[in-house]
Structure 1
């Protein structure tokens, strides 16, 4: 995935909430082996900046590594210093979005309403995280798609798993954030690889 503002398709994002620096390279490498090209380390994980740095060093040449649960401009600055190329947030904070855009990072602000989505777009975002996705639903996403600029992609996060990923893909999602259905703290790299293959196969078969 490119980090330019013209990017319209991200694909699947692996969310490694709770990952530790000691296990992040093995798990991240397993995800890359399964075809994932974007990995997010939420900042409420243990030692997240160290994990981001280790992951970016190990797989950053073949995979976009980024930070999640980014809430402040300081978080953006520290994430960039660690090697992040994307900035994922649960909310639409215009200062966080602006800081990311100014640093040529790709922001993924969270929105639960069209108003929040348009606020994020106005601040420079071109990828919107539908969060929580199960509250918006595929019908809601289609309604948003009809009014948002065509170059803005929508990615459901929260409640997306193997049972509904195909539905989101068929509805036109530009990607999806996958959390506990893919990784839970303590899961081995082998377990994550198997889940990743399953989810990637679903996405590849149903994404437009």
Structure 2
């Protein structure tokens, strides 16, 4: 049984993030998407079941893509940016209609900027020190990055000290068929990259990949339930 541990500061996650994450515990990352196609890909992801969509800022005109996706999706989806490296970019994302800030690192200034502007924030962490610092400054979930380096053994060790209420999301190398070991170790969800979306792919491929991930998630959970 996990020990009862208190976080360094009260854990009060963003309400919109809690709702979206409860509906689907996977974040769709659409790195490299073009603004003209963003809305249709966003619709395909939503229709498949996704409620958290991230446009990395190293994509072409990412703020335009965020605005386009936000405009066409219902309010229960959370749309935002990844690869957010500065407080200025947090403001830009908010002005584009984004509600979610995802980072490859755990810069506390960026986390604080996101929270002060009412946005959900998922910083990237690679050590327990970074994880607890991020939570202290308001992180809503922890992006374990890169997941190829932080395997199930690391996730299990982290979960022994990170309270179960805090989502742990491995990001990197996740496919519909390899989620089981991380979930068994204590991961709560995932960020999905190139196995879900590659620049230039058509909407039908995005829809098919999204459905495959939703089915993979359900299949993994059914298998875990049968083993208990």
What is the TM-score of this pair, normalised by structure 1? Answer: 0.93
Moved more, 160-169 or 88-97: 160-169
SS in 1 for 2:148: helix
Query: 1:14 Cα shift?
Result: 0.6
| Over 3 Å off, 4+ runs | 5-9
Q: Does 1:84 align with 2:84?
A: no
Q: In structure 1, what is the equivalent of residue 18 of structure 2?
A: 7
Query: 1:16 Cα shift?
Result: 0.3
Q: In structure 2, what is the equivalent of residue 72 of structure 1?
A: 86
Residues 8 and 153 in structure 1, CA contact (< 8 A), matched pair in contact too: no
Q: Deviations over 1:93-128 (max 9, x none)?
A: 000001111122111000111111111111111300
**Which stretches in structure 2 are left out of the alignment for 5+ residues?**
1-12
Select the structure of larger CA radius of gyration.
Answer: 2
Residues 69 and 89 in structure 1, CA contact (< 8 A), matched pair in contact too: yes
Alignment CA distance shift 1:6-1:188 (3 Å)? closer
CA distance in 1, matches of 2:19, 2:146: 21
Query: 1:155 Cα shift?
Result: 0.2
Q: 2:161 aligns with which of 130, 135, 147?
A: 147
SS in 2 for 1:66: strand
**Which stretches in structure 1 are left out of the alignment for 5+ residues?**
none
Residues 16 and 76 in structure 2, CA contact (< 8 A), matched pair in contact too: no
Residues 176 and 217 in structure 2, CA contact (< 8 A), matched pair in contact too: no
Query: 1:150 Cα shift?
Result: 3.3
Q: In structure 2, what is the equivalent of residue 103 of structure 1?
A: 117
Q: In structure 2, what is the equivalent of residue 30 of structure 1?
A: 44
Alignment CA distance shift 1:9-1:172 (3 Å)? farther
Q: Deviations over 1:148-167 (max 9, x none)?
A: 23322100101111231233
- The total of aligned residue pairs comes to 207
CA distance in 2, matches of 1:83, 1:142: 36
Residues 8 and 152 in structure 1, CA contact (< 8 A), matched pair in contact too: no
CA distance in 2, matches of 1:136, 1:158: 10
Alignment CA distance shift 1:66-1:6 (3 Å)? closer
Q: 2:174 aligns with which of 135, 154, 160?
A: 160
Q: In structure 2, what is the equivalent of residue 54 of structure 1?
A: 68
Query: 1:65 Cα shift?
Result: 0.5
